[in-house]
Amino acid sequence: MEIKGKLVDILQQKIYPAVISFDKGIITDIRGYDPATSEEKTLSFILPGFIDAHVHIESSMLTPSQFARLAVTHGTIATVSDPHEIANVCGMDGVNFMIADGKRAPFYFYFGAPSCVPATTFETAGARLDAKDVTRLLEKEDIRYLSEMMNFPGVLMHDREVMDKIAAAKKLGKPVDGHAPGLRGEQAKQYIAAGISTDHECFTREEALDKLSYGMHIIIREGSAAKNFDALIDLLNDYPEKIMFCSDDKHPDSLVAGHINQLCARAIQKGINIYHVLRAACINPVQHYKLGSGLLQAGDNADFIVVEDLENFNVLQIYIKGALVADKGASLIQLSDENALNNINNFCCSFKKPEDFSEDNAIFPRKSSPVIEALDGQLITNKLSTGIDRKSISIEDDILKIAVVNRYKEAPVAIAYIKNFGLKQGALASSVAHDSHNIVAVGTSDEAICEAVNSIIATKGGISLYSPENKLVLPLPVAGLMSDKDGYLVAKQYAGIDAAAKALGSTLTSPYMTLSFMALLVIPHLKISDKGLFDGDDFSLLP
Contact assessment for residue 167 and residue 196, using Cβ atoms and an 8 Å cutoff:
no
Sign of the four-CA dihedral 400, 406, 412, 414: negative
Q: Measured between alpha carbons, how far is 404 from 534 in angstroms, rounded to an integer?
A: 12
Contact 401, 436 (CB under 8 A): no
Full-model pTM:
0.94
Q: Any idea where the domains of the chain sit in the sequence?
A: 50-292, 354-541
Quick check: 436 and 460 in contact, CB under 8 A? Answer: no
Backbone dihedral angles phi then psi of residue 513, each to the nearest 5 degrees: -65, -45
Q: Please give the span between the terminal C-alpha atoms of the chain, in angstroms, as a whole number.
A: 67
Cβ atoms < 10 Å from Cβ of 385: 8
**d(Cα 431, Cα 98) in Å, to the nearest integer?**
18
Distance CA 45, CA 14 (A): 12
Please tell me what DSSP assigns to residue 391: P
Spatial CB neighbours of 157, under 8 Å, sequence gap ≥ 6:
none
Spell out the residues 6+ positions from residue 223 whose beta carbon is closer than 8 angstroms to its own: 59, 246, 247, 248, 249, 250, 254, 513
Residues 417/444, Cβ–Cβ less than 8 Å: no
Phi, psi angles (nearest 5°) of residue 155:
-65, -45
- Report the CATH architecture of 50-292: Alpha-Beta Barrel (3.20)
**Angle, CA 350 vertex, CA 346 and CA 351 arms, to 5°:** 125
Q: 402, 393 in Cβ contact below 8 A?
A: no
The alpha carbon torsion through 36, 39, 42, 43 (nearest 10 deg) reads -80
Residues β-bridged to residue 6: 17, 45
Output the tens digit of pLDDT for each of the chain's 543 residues.
Answer: 999 999 999 999 999 999 999 999 999 999 998 877 666 656 899 999 999 999 999 999 999 999 999 999 999 999 999 999 999 999 999 999 999 999 999 999 999 999 999 999 999 999 999 999 999 999 999 999 999 999 998 999 999 999 999 999 999 999 999 999 999 999 999 999 999 999 999 989 999 999 999 999 999 999 887 889 999 999 999 999 999 999 999 999 999 999 999 999 999 999 999 999 999 999 999 999 999 999 999 999 999 999 999 999 999 999 999 999 999 999 999 998 767 788 899 999 999 999 999 999 999 987 778 999 999 988 899 999 866 666 678 999 999 999 999 999 999 999 999 999 999 999 999 999 999 999 999 999 999 999 999 999 999 999 999 999 999 999 999 999 999 999 999 999 999 999 999 999 999 999 999 999 999 998 899 999 999 999 998 889 998
Within 8 A by CB and 6+ apart from 292, the residues are 108, 301
Whether residue 152 contacts residue 216, with contact meaning beta carbons closer than 8 Å, is answered with no
